[in-house]
Structure 1
Amino acid sequence: MVANFFFTNDGVFNNLCIPWHDSLITKLFGKSVGFFQMKSRLRGVWKQSGDFELMDVNNGFFAVKFDIKDHITKVITRGSWMIFDHYLAVCTWSSDFNLVTTKINQTMVWQRILSLKLVFYDESFLLVMLIIVSTLVKVDLNTFNVEREKSAWVC
């Protein structure tokens, strides 16, 4: 009866969700790692000025709560992240998240295009080219401004 009250009373459920609104959910593709290994590796790849709390929520998922709110945006927009040569899926927490039924079937990946001719450093051309391969999320600022011609970076 008590559990039924929590799940039928929106106010109680919403209050329980408040601490998680500014959290991320992460999962490493193709590799299982322990709590301390994950925390150490995340510190190394994210290089944030503040700290974060990590919670192992099972099935390879970890919840991350940052001391500084802006770090969530930085982690999501700077991706894609690699740990032990495996991609790290990162998404914002949602009250619909269910670690038993959640399946991750996509992640953002930065692609480097080598030896691209200078005339092709055009956002509209890159957009059309990458739509054929996958979904273009963004173009690296240096690529967009044609500041480095060794390679083009697109996500």
Structure 2
Amino acid sequence: MSTILYNPIHTSKPPEPPDPPDSPTVMEEDTPQPSSFREILLNKSIIVNHTYQQLATAGDEGVDTSPGPIILSIEGKERIYLPWKNSIIVKLFGRKISYNYLKTKLTELWRPIEPLILIDLGCDLFIAKFNKIENANKVLHEGPWFVVGNFLSVRRWEPTFVPQEATDSHTAIWVRLPQLHTEFYNQKILEKIRRKLGRLLKIDTYTSAALQGR
């Protein structure tokens, strides 16, 4: 027979269980995260513009915050113009062709020693951008040039060129003299004819040698 001794004097109240831990608090973000690609781009644009505004208004050294026109120094202009110094402005007369076709034809015609960079300026004007002066000299001095039977005007690139205001004060042209007597195929006679037209650039080889009568 088992006996259990029970002493009521030394008994104590069992400890109460500890309080449960605090429940986690969910903090709501002030700005919801963008959920679409469009929102991401818009938010990025806001951040970029905000950063730009901070830089523009910070007044840091080198940032011109004063009102009025932007003034470029002579050195600054030369640095900007330098990459364009060997460029040529061209215009095809009498016919409009696509940009890609014109670029292909000019590459075949000039055969530059570097890739041709052609820039559409509008108003049927284009810039042929060269880094090497050899290409620019070839285009300027070894013409005249014709693309699909139409005359191609070439001129040196000039700073602050505005296509809408461009005018042609000079152009190179071929002059044919139908049924000119062969005795007049003479350098002095041709130069006299030239004075009536403009500055003589070149005489066809067959004409100056009187090898062809047309």
For the superposition of Structure 1 and Structure 2, which TM-score range results when normalised by the shorter chain? 0.7 to 0.9
Change (3 A) 1:2 1:126: farther
AA paired with 1:149?
L
> Given the alignment of the two structures, is residue 90 of structure 1 paired with residue 148 of structure 2, yes or no?
no
Match of 2:109 among 38, 45, 52: 45
Helix, strand or coil for the counterpart of 1:100?
A: helix
In 1: Cα distance, 2:213 partner to 2:89 partner: 31
Structure 1: 5+ residue stretches without partners? none
Higher relative contact order (CA 8 A, sep 6+): 1
Could you tell me how far 1:2 is from its partner in structure 2? 8.6
- Conserved? CA contact 2:119–2:128, under 8 Å: yes
- When normalised by structure 2's length, the TM-score is 0.59
Given residue 138 of structure 1, which amino acid in structure 2 is its aligned partner?
L
Relative distance call for 1:4 and 1:120 in structure 2 (3 A) is same
Equivalent residue of 1:82, what SS? Answer: strand
1:4-153, aligned counterparts within 5 Å? 4-5=69-70, 7-113=71-177, 116-132=180-196, 134-140=197-203, 142-143=205-206, 146=209, 148-151=210-213
Cα distance change on mapping 1:49 and 1:21 into 2, 3 Å: closer
Are the structure 2 counterparts of residues 86 and 31 from structure 1 closer, same or farther at C-alpha, using a change threshold of 3 Å? same
Equivalences, count: 149
For the aligned residues, what is the CA RMSD? 2.7
Which consecutive unaligned segments of at least 5 residues does structure 2 have?
Answer: 1-65
**1: CA distance, partners of 2:136 / 2:68:** 32
Structure 1 residue 114: deviation in Å? Answer: 5.0
Structure 1 segments (4+ residues) deviating >4 Å: none
- Greater percentage in strand: 1
Identical pairs, percent: 21
Using structure 1 for the length normalisation, give the TM-score.
0.77
Q: Judging changes above 3 Å, is the alpha-carbon distance between structure 1 residues 12 and 67 closer, same or farther for their aligned structure 2 residues? A: closer
